[in-house]
Amino acid sequence: MFSFKDIEELTEREIDKFYQEYIKFDGFPAVVLAKDELKNTILPGIYNTIIVNDIGYKNGLREPELVTLVAKYLADTVGQLINPNKIVNTLKSNHFKISYSAVQRYLTYFEEAYLFYKTNRYDIRGRKMLATQGKYYIIDSGLRTQAIGDRLSDRGSILLFLLNY
C-alpha cells in the first residue's frame, strides 16, 4: 500500500509501469496480490470460470465457444453502440452459426453474471431511456485483456473503459 508521500516520490517510469499493470490485471485481489509469475495464470482462470461456469453451465449452453466469441466482440467494442444483428452477421461471416435470439440471451447472461453492464441511450427530446442499442462495458480491464489479448496500444478504448468504470 502506498502513502501519499510514496506516490509523490515515484518517477514517471514507475507510474507508467503501475498504470500498465493496472490495465493488464486490474483489481481482482487474488490477481493483484499474487506474485508476478502467477498473475498470468490466475486471471485466465477467473475469466474462464465466469464464461464456462457462471454463464455456460448455469444456463445450459452447449456451445461455450460462441459465448466466448460474443464476449470477445463486446470487450473489443467497449463504448460503442451494440446491435445484436451486427454480432450475428460478424460471427456468420466467420462461419459460426448463431441466431439473433441467442445473442440476445448471451447479452442478458453477461449482465446477470456481472461480466458486462449495459448503459442505455437517452432521448433528450422525449426525455426517456431508449431500449435499443445500448453500450456494453466489461467490469474489469484485466478481464478485457483476457478476452481480446494484450493490446495496450488500444489507448482510446482503454481510456473510455476507465472513464466509465
Neighbours of 14 (CB within 10 A): 11
d(CA 64, CA 24): 24
pLDDT band at 159 (very low <50, low <70, confident <90, very high): low
In the prediction, which pLDDT does 123 show?
62
The matching CATH number, chosen from 1.10.760.10, 1.10.10.60, 1.10.10.10, 1.20.1250.20, for 11-163 is 1.10.10.10
Average pLDDT, whole number, for the chain? 84
DSSP string, 115-164: SEEEE--EETTTTEE--SS-EEEES-HHHHHHHH---TT-HHHHHHHHHT
Question: What is the rounded average pLDDT of the residues 108-136?
Answer: 79
Domain residue extents for the chain = 11-163
Instruction: Determine if residue 3 is left, alpha or beta; phi over 0 gives left, psi from -120 to 50 gives alpha, anything else beta.
Output: beta
| Percentage of residues in the chain having pLDDT higher than 70 | 81
Q: Which of 2, 164, 161 is nearest to 75 (CA)?
A: 161
pTM: 0.80
Question: What is the rounded average pLDDT of the residues 103-114?
Answer: 95
Indicate the SS3 state at residue 88: helix
Q: Which of 76, 81, 74, 77 is nearest to 135 (CA)?
A: 81
d(CA 152, CA 54): 28
Looking at the predicted structure, is the pLDDT value of residue 47 above 70? Answer: yes
